[in-house]
Amino acid sequence: MTKYDNLNTRTELEQTIARDLDAALSKRGFHVRHNGDASHPAPHGLADIEAWNNKHHFIIEVTKTTKSSADREFPSISDHLEKSKQDNPKQLCFAMYVSPETHYRMSNAIRDYNIVRESEPDQKILPLNFSNFELLTTKLRDAHKDLFPPKQLVELFSKYSNFIDDERILKLLYEELFPTDNKIKEDVEAKEQAKWAKIEKEVNDDLVRIENKLREHGIALAGDAIRQLIYLVFMKLYEEKKNAEGKGRNYFQPKTFVEFQEAQGEKERKRAIHKLFDQIKNQKEFQETALFTEHDLLAEKLDDDFALQEIIEPLDKYAFYKTKVDGLGAVYEVLALRSSKDVKVGQFFTPIRVVNFMVSLAELDTSDVILDPACGTGRFLIWAMEDMVSKVSGKEADKKKEEVRKKQLFGSDNDSNVAKLAKMNMYIHGDGKGNIFDDDGLLLYKTRAMEKSVDAILTNPPLGEFNYRRRDYDEEFYRKYEVIPRKIIKGKEVVAGNSMKGGALFLSAAYHYLRDVRDASAKPEWRGGKLLIILDEGILNLQEYALVQDFIRKHFYIKAVISLTRDTFTPVSKTQTKTSILYAIKKDDLTAKQVEPIFYGHAERVGMDNRRRVIPNDLEPLLRRYFEFKKHVMEAYDGLQFNMEKFEASGFKGGAIDAS
C-alpha cells in the first residue's frame, strides 16, 4: 500500500506527485510544474507534470489505470516526450510513467521505444510503479542536496535494457542509487522471491498446456513435442536478448511477428515461424558450436496461426531475458514431469535458492575452472558464472570476464535434449556454449581428458538407482570407481551387483576430476579442489553404503553437511526424496586424518513449499551461520596446526535459527 493508492485522480493524485517531485528535485536545481491545478488534472495535450533545469527536461505522466487498460496511455507518453524534445532541442529530454503497477504490455512497449532510440543520448522512458516512485522521491527528499546529483539520476535512463518489470526496476534503483541500504535490499529480495515463485508456476502451467496442444493438434508426437517446446522457448529468449542488446527487433511478440510474417511474404503460406527459426539456428556461432544441426527442425504441421495463438501470445506476458524466470529450466521441468525416467533416476530441477546457496558456500575465485558433470539446464554453471564475473575488477576486467564465460565453465549431460537446453541457457547468459557436452558425466576422464583439472564441482546428480553395468563401462572404469562393490570369485576380485545410487558414482568421479591442489597457500584441509554435491541421504547414512562413506572420509575433508527438507524437489518430482548437500575438499594426502570440525545444518524450508507458495528460506541464515563457524575455525589455527581446544573456547554456538 502506498500513499498514492487511495488519492482522488482529479484533485489529489497529480498534485501530490508534483509536490513530492518538487521536494526531491528542487533542491537539486530543478523547477517542477503541474500542468493542472488544485481541482483538476493536467488537460489533454499537455504532460501531467514537467521538471527541468538548464540541461534536462523531464515529463511525468501519471495514471491509476492498471493491467491491459494501461495500453491507451502509451501514445500520449511518447507524443508528449517527442513534443518535449521539439520544444527543448538543446536539453536532454526524458519521461517517467508513474502508475500503480506496470503491466507487461506497457513494459514491452516502453522497452521497444527505448531500444529504437538507443543511438540517442536521451528520449528514454522510465516506468515507475507507485511503490518505486515513492521510494525514489522519499530518498531524494531526505538526502542532502549534494547527494544524487542530476547526472546520477539521468544515468538511470541509460539502463533501459533493465526496464523489464517493477521488481527489476526496484533492483536497479537499489544497485545504482542506494546500494548500502539493507532495508531496500531485503525488500528487493522479498519481492523478487514472491514474484518469481508465482511466475515460475504460471510459466510451467503454460508450457504444459502448450506441450499438450502440440500433441492434441497432431503437430508433434509426445517425444518430439518436448523438443519443439525447447526450440520455441529458445526462439523467445533469443529474440528478447537480441532486442535488449540493440541488435534488432523482437519478432517473438504478437505485433512484431505479424510484421515479420508480412515482410517474409508468408501471409498465405503461414510459414513465417519456420523462417524465423531458420534465421536463428543458422547463426554462425550456433553452427560452430553445434548448438543446432540440420536435424533441428520445427514440426511441418506447425503454422503461423497456431504459433501466434497458442505460443507467442500466451508467452508474451513473460520476460525471460535478464530476469530470474528460467524459461528453459521450465521446459526441463515439463520434460521431467513427462518422463518416467526422472522419477527413477532423479534428474530433478534444482531450485534456484538451493543453487544460490551452494554457489555462495563454495566461495569461488575468478580463476576457478568449474564443472557440473550432470548439468541439467546449466543452473549451477550460470550462477557460478555470474558469481565469478561479479568479482572481477581491474584494468583488464572485460577480458577476464570473457575468459570466465568462455574458458572456465564446463558441463555435461547424457540426455541430448537436456544438453541442448544447457547450451541454449549458457548462450542466453553470455557464455561460449562450446563447453557443454552431450556425454556421460562419469566418463569425462576418457571423453574430455578431465583428470585433476577442475577447481570446483557443483552438481545435483541422479538421485535414484544408476546402472553401472553399461556397455560403455570397461575395466578402466571399474578400476577408477572404488565405490562400486566387489566380491571374490575363485580367488579373483570382480564387480558385484548391478546398480547403486547415482550420487555415489558421481562422488567417485569428482575425486578424479578435481585438482589435488587448488590453492597451495591455504591451510592443509583447504588446499584441494572443492566439491558441492546434492546426495540422497542414504549414501551418507545407510550401512549398505559404508564403502562410499569410507571413500569420502579417505579422499575428502568434509566441510559441511546441510540436510534438506523432503519437499525440496516435490514441485517437480512429485515424490519426496530426503537429500543433503555435501561440501568437501579433496585431500592431497590420503593418509591425513581430518582434524577440523564439520558444520552440520538442516533447512526445513527452502523458500517454497510443495504447492509453490513462498515461505521463509532457512538456507539464508544457515549460510550466515556457516561463515561465522568458518571464521572461528580459521582463528583456531596455530600456523598450519588446527587447535581444537582453541576452537571450542572461541564461543561458537549451534542451535536453532529463526528464519520466519
Q: Which of 559, 581, 596 is the last residue of a domain?
A: 559
Is residue 514 a part of any domain in this protein? Answer: yes
Helix (H, G, I), strand (E, B) or coil at 59: strand
Closest by CA to 429, choosing from 332, 328, 347, 330, is 328
Looking at the fold, whether 124 and 231 belong to one and the same domain comes out as no
Looking at the fold, whether 359 and 422 belong to one and the same domain comes out as yes
Looking at the fold, whether 227 and 334 belong to one and the same domain comes out as yes
More confident residue, 87 or 69: 87
Closest by CA to 533, choosing from 564, 512, 506, is 506
User: Which pLDDT belongs to residue 348?
Assistant: 53
Range in 268-282, 483-497, 605-619 the model is least confident about: 605-619
Indicate whether 342 pLDDT > 70: no
pTM of the model: 0.78
Looking at the fold, whether 37 and 59 belong to one and the same domain comes out as yes
Looking up cell 522471491 gives: 193
| Cα–Cα distance for residue pair 29/317, rounded to 1 Å | 39
pLDDT band at 185 (very low <50, low <70, confident <90, very high): confident
pLDDT band at 550 (very low <50, low <70, confident <90, very high): very high
| Cα–Cα distance for residue pair 541/9, rounded to 1 Å | 64
Is residue 635 a part of any domain in this protein? Answer: no
Average pLDDT taken over every residue of the chain: 90
Looking at the fold, whether 247 and 174 belong to one and the same domain comes out as no
User: Which pLDDT belongs to residue 434?
Assistant: 67
Contact 573, 336 (CB under 8 A): yes
Going 19 to 21 to 24 to 30, the CA torsion angle's sign is negative
Q: What is the pLDDT of residues 490-505, one digit of tens each?
A: 888 899 999 999 999 9
User: Which pLDDT belongs to residue 243?
Assistant: 86
- Mention every residue, 6+ apart, whose C-beta is less than 8 A from residue 137: 20, 21, 23, 24
- Give the DSSP letter string of 596-658: S--EEEEES-EEE-TT--EEEETHHHHHHHHHHHHHHHHHTEETTEE-HHHHHTTT-------
* CATH number (domain holding residue 132): 3.40.91.50
Is residue 302 a part of any domain in this protein? Answer: yes
Is residue 657 a part of any domain in this protein? Answer: no
pLDDT band at 343 (very low <50, low <70, confident <90, very high): very low
Distance between start and end Cα atoms, the chain: 22
Residue range 634-650: mean pLDDT, rounded = 96
Is residue 320 a part of any domain in this protein? Answer: yes
Indicate whether 246 pLDDT > 90: no
Residue type, 45: G
Phi, psi of 390 (to 5 degrees): -65, -20
User: Which pLDDT belongs to residue 222?
Assistant: 66
Closest by CA to 117, choosing from 84, 94, 149, 89, is 94
pLDDT band at 345 (very low <50, low <70, confident <90, very high): very low
* Alpha-carbon distance values, 338 to 12, 16, 80, 459, 462 (Å): 54, 53, 51, 23, 17
Residue range 297-301: mean pLDDT, rounded = 94
Residue range 322-333: mean pLDDT, rounded = 76
**Residue numbers of the domain that contains 63:** 13-180
| Cα–Cα distance for residue pair 80/74, rounded to 1 Å | 10
Looking at the fold, whether 223 and 297 belong to one and the same domain comes out as yes
- Please classify residue 223 by burial: count the beta carbons closer than 10 Å to its beta carbon, then call 0-12 exposed, 13-18 middle and 19+ buried: exposed
Looking at the fold, whether 159 and 207 belong to one and the same domain comes out as no
Residue range 522-536: mean pLDDT, rounded = 97
User: Which pLDDT belongs to residue 346?
Assistant: 42
Q: What is the pLDDT of residues 360-390, one digit of tens each?
A: 999 999 999 999 999 988 989 999 999 999 9
pLDDT band at 510 (very low <50, low <70, confident <90, very high): very high
User: Which pLDDT belongs to residue 344?
Assistant: 34
User: Which pLDDT belongs to residue 341?
Assistant: 42
Closest by CA to 323, choosing from 382, 403, 270, is 382
Looking at the fold, whether 20 and 158 belong to one and the same domain comes out as yes
Residue range 554-583: mean pLDDT, rounded = 85
Is residue 620 a part of any domain in this protein? Answer: no
Half-sphere exposure for 155 (CA within 13 Å, toward CB): 10
Residue range 555-575: mean pLDDT, rounded = 82
Looking at the fold, whether 63 and 196 belong to one and the same domain comes out as no
Is residue 206 a part of any domain in this protein? Answer: yes
Closest by CA to 332, choosing from 219, 182, 230, is 230
Indicate whether 432 pLDDT > 50: yes
Looking at the fold, whether 221 and 135 belong to one and the same domain comes out as no
Looking at the fold, whether 155 and 240 belong to one and the same domain comes out as no
- Please classify residue 285 by burial: count the beta carbons closer than 10 Å to its beta carbon, then call 0-12 exposed, 13-18 middle and 19+ buried: exposed
How would you classify residue 218: left for phi > 0, otherwise alpha for psi between -120 and 50, otherwise beta?
left
* DSSP 8-state symbol, 42: P
Total domain count, the chain: 3
Is residue 416 a part of any domain in this protein? Answer: yes
- Please classify residue 497 by burial: count the beta carbons closer than 10 Å to its beta carbon, then call 0-12 exposed, 13-18 middle and 19+ buried: exposed
| DSSP bridge pairs for 456 | 370, 530
Phi, psi of 402 (to 5 degrees): -65, -40
* CATH number (domain holding residue 454): 3.40.50.150
Q: Which of 496, 528, 559 is the last residue of a domain?
A: 559
Indicate whether 200 pLDDT > 70: yes
Indicate whether 190 pLDDT > 90: no
User: Which pLDDT belongs to residue 247?
Assistant: 87
pLDDT band at 336 (very low <50, low <70, confident <90, very high): low
Helix (H, G, I), strand (E, B) or coil at 522: coil
Q: For 429-541, where are the alpha helices, taking DSSP H only?
A: 444-447, 475-480, 502-513, 537-541
Q: Which of 180, 206, 235 is the last residue of a domain?
A: 180
User: Which pLDDT belongs to residue 571?
Assistant: 59
| Cα–Cα distance for residue pair 646/32, rounded to 1 Å | 64
User: Which pLDDT belongs to residue 274?
Assistant: 97
Indicate whether 330 pLDDT > 90: no
User: Which pLDDT belongs to residue 612?
Assistant: 67
Indicate whether 590 pLDDT > 60: yes
Beta-strand ranges (E) seen in 285-354 are none
Contact 628, 657 (CB under 8 A): no
Range in 32-41, 193-202, 544-553 the model is least confident about: 193-202
Looking at the fold, whether 247 and 390 belong to one and the same domain comes out as no
User: Which pLDDT belongs to residue 369?
Assistant: 97
